[in-house]
Structure 1
Amino acid sequence: MSNISPNDRFQRNITVWEKGELLGCGSFGSVYEGISGDGFFFAIKEVSLLDQESRGSESISQLEQEIGLLSGFEHENIVQYYGTEKDESNLYIFLELVTKGSLLSLYQRYNLKDSQVSSYTRQILHGLKYLHDKDVVHRDIKCANILVDASGSVKLADFGLAKVTKFNDVKSCKGTAFWMAPEVVNLKNQGYGPPADIWSLGCTVLEMLTRKVPYSPLEWMQALYRIGKGEPPTVPDSLSKDARDFILQCLQMHLWL
């Protein structure tokens, strides 16, 4: 048996496996479905080790950091890590298979209602609390990095930019421009901490409900300028009062600085 724990939601030891269909591609490489020797399905993140340019080595070091963090996480709202393998040309990272894709692909297919967004947001907050209690800042919360399974369970994913931090200690400008908090853009001497993820969560809820990236239709440099001045994205009056109130609570820069 490949199970190394009675709680096999969290523990797997995948030794015999076969790569299946392509699920998606990213800057780091490709994600495939995989099947283990005992019929368990999982996701395989495949990264080429042959790309020796600076971009390649940078993405591999990011992935090594991601593996180091993920291997220590056990939470129902964080994508589960099952192991790593390497051959002459590729690094393979084995992860929980989350069948319905990202929240980005979800809102492109469906008009998400407040009740659905509320359920997803509550679960994102559970995942973020778990990370923040471990002094980890995700730093790249957005719909594209949050996965949903067929039961409606939400999983935080893509920990390539996550950092272990002491509160208000991270000093690098990493993340995706439209979802960045002002303190990340400004990078004043005090750095930033977990509240930067809460600003990004507000932007993510806004994205789910409007089906647009925050600060749309600005170019990313224009957006960075506005964010740096502490200007939140526009929250349309057409959203419900509860949704607007929640988003605006997340986008309170002065609470964090």
Structure 2
Amino acid sequence: MNKTVVVANDRYEFTTNDCIGEGAQATVFLGSDKRTGKRVAIKRIKHRIMVGQPPSNAFKVPEEEFKIIEPLDHPNVLRYLDHSRHVDGNKAYEYIITEYMEHKSLSTFIETNPTTYKDTSRLRKAFKQILKGLSYLHNNNIIHRDIKPANILVSSDYTLKIADFGMSKLDIQRSITTQVGSQLFNAPDHAYGTSKQTDLWSLGITMLCMCMSATYAGGHLTIYQDITSELRTIHQSRSVSQIPRFNTIPNEYLLVIDKCLSGKSSIEDILSSPPLGNYKCPGGGDHDFSGTNLEPIMDYSHKDGWGGIIHGHKCCGQCSGNFRCKGRCNNKCEHPRQVGTKILSNYCIKCTKLLK
């Protein structure tokens, strides 16, 4: 396939066969910074100039959008670099240049890497990143209004960044008068008086998609269908933790989602509460602690009277088999959640100390 080099402006360019994403209104290309050689993402929006229409009227992206995104600087918000506009005959082109995100959108990522968020430490980190990015936007009086997995991008080191500010507005009046965004992720009209809570609702549904990706084999369409089937209940209860369909998700993360949907919690409250909050380890270690570092120490009483102690077994809550005793008897011991065992204490695998 022949490639055509397109110059977005005097600094950024791309080739037409380096398409990395395409939508109804825009195409995204992998481009490069001619000064540094770094890769960038270049979104091209093509418009047709109608007969008798001034070329400037064909451009759909208002300058206000660029004014919103240009000063943003946060590790969990996509970095805007530049924009330009060109007219070629009866066609008008707009180019938006941003940093390049190797793993594309979160919706693509959870479909191609469905087991990633089975690891609750990764899930916890991801939740915190999106919340911090959204908090930064809100603190700068920006309402995104279209939070969803397709508008969150994943970098090479798996950092999540909020992107696509096409529907964003400055929160001048502290409320919204129009319902925009994607229907599945929209908050119910009657429940929220502020746009910040609308963003939080959308983020809660996005988090639910992330949690479900670990247990659903059908991809994001199956996830969306299952959430849609429960949407009326979710809207009425402003909660997902009591819906049986979602009972495979760890309860502590369902409660985080509940807070996002409640219309009452602030981002700061959610970030400071378990399991997302930072806590000093009871074992005295100087590290982040949320209870996920605890592992039981088990006391197994055997026929020969010897009490074997096993350090470092972490019960997942879904085990069904027995575990071989690390004591002298070499017998298989009952699972800690079954009869015949007793939890003596807890053990922090980072501090290597008993926690009382």
Structure 1 length as normaliser, TM-score? 0.79
Q: 1:244 and 2:254 equivalent?
A: yes
The size of the alignment, in residue pairs, is 233
- 2:68 aligned residue: 69
- 2:43 aligned residue: 45
Q: Which amino acid aligns with 1:41?
A: R
Residues 120-145 of structure 1, C-alpha deviation per residue, up to 9 Å, x if partnerless? Answer: 11111111111111111111111111
Q: 1:105 and 2:108 equivalent?
A: yes
1:181·1:227 contact (CA, 8 Å) conserved in 2?
no
The counterpart of 2:13, out of the listed 14, 18, 22, is: 18
Residues 78-130 of structure 1, C-alpha deviation per residue, up to 9 Å, x if partnerless? Answer: 11111112221311111111111111111101222222221111111111111
Secondary structure class of the residue paired with 1:18: strand
Q: Using CA pairs below 8 Å that are at least 6 residues apart, which structure has the higher relative contact order?
A: 1
Q: 1:90 and 2:131 equivalent?
A: no
Q: 1:139 and 2:141 equivalent?
A: no
Deviation at 1:42, TM superposition (A): 0.5
Q: 1:174 and 2:180 equivalent?
A: yes
Secondary structure class of the residue paired with 2:84: strand
Q: Which amino acid aligns with 1:170?
A: I
Residues 2-50 of structure 1, C-alpha deviation per residue, up to 9 Å, x if partnerless? Answer: xxxxxxxxxxxx7233213001012331000111212121110101132
Q: Distance in 2 between matches of 1:130 and 1:58?
A: 33
Q: Distance in 2 between matches of 1:254 and 1:201?
A: 14
1:103·1:144 contact (CA, 8 Å) conserved in 2?
yes
Q: 1:216 and 2:226 equivalent?
A: yes
1:146·1:157 contact (CA, 8 Å) conserved in 2?
yes
Q: Which amino acid aligns with 2:95?
A: Y
Ranges in structure 2 where 5+ consecutive residues have no aligned partner? 1-8, 214-219, 267-356
Moved over 6 A (4+): none
Deviation at 1:60, TM superposition (A): 4.7
Query: Whose helix fraction is larger, Structure 1's or Structure 2's?
Result: 1
Deviation at 1:216, TM superposition (A): 2.5
Q: Which amino acid aligns with 2:124?
A: S
Ranges in structure 1 where 5+ consecutive residues have no aligned partner? 1-13
- 1:157 aligned residue: 163
Structure 2 length as normaliser, TM-score? 0.59
Secondary structure class of the residue paired with 2:30: strand
Q: Which amino acid aligns with 1:76?
A: P
Deviation at 1:180, TM superposition (A): 1.1
Deviation at 1:229, TM superposition (A): 4.5
Q: Distance in 1 between matches of 2:78 and 2:70?
A: 10
Q: Which amino acid aligns with 1:19?
A: F
Q: Distance in 2 between matches of 1:63 and 1:153?
A: 29
- 1:78 aligned residue: 77
Secondary structure class of the residue paired with 1:251: helix
1:15·1:36 contact (CA, 8 Å) conserved in 2?
no
Q: Which amino acid aligns with 1:72?
A: P
Matches within 5 A, 1:190-209: 191-209=193-211
Q: Distance in 1 between matches of 2:31 and 2:47?
A: 20
Deviation at 1:66, TM superposition (A): 3.0
Deviation at 1:72, TM superposition (A): 2.1
* Structure 1 vs Structure 2 CA RMSD: 2.9
2:26·2:46 contact (CA, 8 Å) conserved in 1?
yes
Q: Distance in 2 between matches of 1:29 and 1:52?
A: 19
Q: Which amino acid aligns with 2:32?
A: I
Residues 141-185 of structure 1, C-alpha deviation per residue, up to 9 Å, x if partnerless? Answer: 111110011112111001111111146421111011111112xx3
1:178·1:215 contact (CA, 8 Å) conserved in 2?
no
